[in-house]
Amino acid sequence: MKKIFYLLLVFLGIGITANAQHNPDDLISSDNWNIIGTVDFRTPKETEMYAIFGSEIKKHENKPFELEGYIVPIKDGMQQTKFMLATLPINQCFYCGKDGIPIMVMVEMAKPIKFTYQTVKIKGNLKLFTGNSMDNPPITLTNSVLVN
């Protein structure tokens, strides 16, 4: 995936939000998103970024974890099996996180789900990636299912 999803997010942010207005009512907030938000990053080189996972998120690693959010596709199509889940809709992606970096989680579904602009609730196993986040997303929900 090498940097592709980061470039996708940048292009989505530039292309879609140029005329978009941020609507704070659309923001999804929950205790689990707050846990995701505790992840920090260190960037030793321009081509390297590593997630720093605190004890709060580590205690959920390899366990079922539930998040409600908006689908941000990484491939075309109405049926999605692998996508990013964000706290804001795709048309507000630029505003998803702090300092322009969206708070997003990679989702790998057990079965495809239909793309929607509405929120979805997903439950999967929380996986943390300690390698270079420029190559892979630092947080993934694997073997996920639709809850709502």
| pLDDT digits 0-9 by tens, 72-87 | 999 999 999 999 999 8
DSSP letters, the chain, are -TTHHHHHHHHHHHHHHTS----GGG----HHHHHHTT-EEEEEETTEEEEE--HHHHTTTTSEEEEEEEEEESSSSSEEEEEEEESS-GGGGGGSSGGG---EEEEEEEEEEE--SS-EEEEEEEEE--SBTTTS-SEEEEEEEE--
| pLDDT digits 0-9 by tens, 124-147 | 999 999 999 999 999 999 999 999
- Average pLDDT over the chain, rounded to whole? 82
Q: Structural domain boundaries of the chain? A: 4-146
User: Is the CATH code 3.10.20 the one for domain 4-146?
Assistant: no
| pLDDT digits 0-9 by tens, 7-51 | 344 334 433 334 445 666 778 889 999 999 999 999 999 999 999
